[in-house]
Structure formats: structure tokens, C-alpha cells
Amino acid sequence: MTYPKYLEEVISSLELLPGIGHKSAIRMAFQLLDMSDGNLEKMGESLKALPQAKTFCERCHSLSTENICPICNDSSRDHSLICVVSNYKDVYSIEKMNTFNGVYHVLGGDIRINKGIMPQDLNIASLLERINENTIEVIIATTPSIEGETTALYLNKELKIYPIKITRIGYGVPMGIQLDYLDGLTMNKAFENRKEVQDMED
């Protein structure tokens, strides 16, 4: 027996989510059907608004409803310290620990040569443009994965012509983990254990 077409459409939309297989999508679609009309409409509206609402800070490329995000605009933060992360969600993971008082730069992913994601597809040029005589340190906090390491190596190569300190957050953090799965303590340690990466290529 086939599902009604409107339900099939919901199922195939849900299957687009990473980690959601066909069976889970069917289960979720039925859960949605059981929801009240009002809640369904509210959910639909917020999803529909996402493409327009998803805007980024012009400076650091974090999610921001303003041209310049509240962190970049905050003069009490240490703008000489730039933490480079792979994804905008990582900013939230680091902010959660409440100890990092620098600013961010979101690359928009990691270098994945096999998937055609090259350095020029990431926000690397704008990072280099941000570095000036006030910059003291760039902390590379890309994803702890092969791709994140590749990206870190590339960044180090690009950054080392500048008279700044380049550090990589200390892993302790297991490879392959997403930053948002780290608890505050582990993340804190990763920052405390950050090491200079001048000799990363050796």
C-alpha cells in the first residue's frame, strides 16, 4: 500500500536530513500528521522563512541578522584574538563555555578535495584580509577530522607569512567528533592546550 502523495512528499523531505533514513522519515511524518493544525502551520512558516532569514555577518560569516554580528560589534571582546572555525554552529559550541573572549572567523566548511570543496570555496581570503597590525593570535579550531586537519595545514601555510602567533586547539579532543558534542570542560581544555603550529608540516 502506498502512502498518500502529500505524505510521500513529507517523507522525502525529511529524508534529506543527515542521519535520517527512510524508516525514521516515515515515523516522523506520521508524528507530524498527529500534530495540531496550528503547530504544523507554525512549523511550516518557520521553515519557509529560513532561506531568507539565514544571513551572515559580513566580517566573520557567523549567523547574524545584522550586517555585523553582536560579537564583532562588541568592543569589550579581544579583537586581537581570532578563532577560526569550520562551521557557524561551532561558534555556538565555543560561546557556550563562556571563557573565550576573542572574535571568530567562520570558514563555511573544511577543504574536501574529493568533494570538490577547495580553499577558494571557503572564507579564507576574508580571513587573511582581517589580519592587521592589531592581530596577535589566530587560533585554528577547525573540525577534529582528516578534512579539518587538511584545512588547518592549509591555513597555517597561508598565515605564517604574518607576524602573528598561530595555534591549533589541543586535541585531547577525539578525531571525528563534532565540536558541538564536546562538553564545556573538554572544550575549555582544548583551548587551554592549544599549541603553536609553526612546525605542523614537519
Q: Which residues bind Zn ion (CB under 5 A)?
A: 57, 59-60, 62, 69, 72
User: In the chain, what's the furthest Cα-to-Cα distance?
Assistant: 68
Query: First and final CA of the chain: distance in angstroms?
Result: 61
Residue 120 CB contacts under 8 Å (≥ 6 apart), including other chains: none
The nearest distance, CB 68 to Zn ion, in angstroms, is: 6
The nearest distance, CB 64 to Zn ion, in angstroms, is: 6
Q: Are 168 and 152 in contact (CB under 8 A)?
A: yes
The nearest distance, CB 61 to Zn ion, in angstroms, is: 7
The rounded distance, in Å, linking the Cα atoms of 196 and 152 is: 12
The nearest distance, CB 62 to Zn ion, in angstroms, is: 5
Q: Judged by CB, which is closer to Zn ion: 10, or 85?
A: 85
The nearest distance, CB 127 to Zn ion, in angstroms, is: 12
The nearest distance, CB 71 to Zn ion, in angstroms, is: 5
Q: Are 175 and 143 in contact (CB under 8 A)?
A: no
Q: Judged by CB, which is closer to Zn ion: 35, or 68?
A: 68
Q: Judged by CB, which is closer to Zn ion: 43, or 125?
A: 125
Residue 67 CB contacts under 8 Å (≥ 6 apart), including other chains: 57, 58
Q: Judged by CB, which is closer to Zn ion: 25, or 139?
A: 139
Q: Residue 4 carries which DSSP code?
A: P
Q: Judged by CB, which is closer to Zn ion: 57, or 94?
A: 57
The rounded distance, in Å, linking the Cα atoms of 188 and 190 is: 5
Amino acid (1-letter code) at residue 148: G
Q: Judged by CB, which is closer to Zn ion: 70, or 174?
A: 70
Nine-digit cell string for 23: 524508516
The rounded distance, in Å, linking the Cα atoms of 114 and 3 is: 37
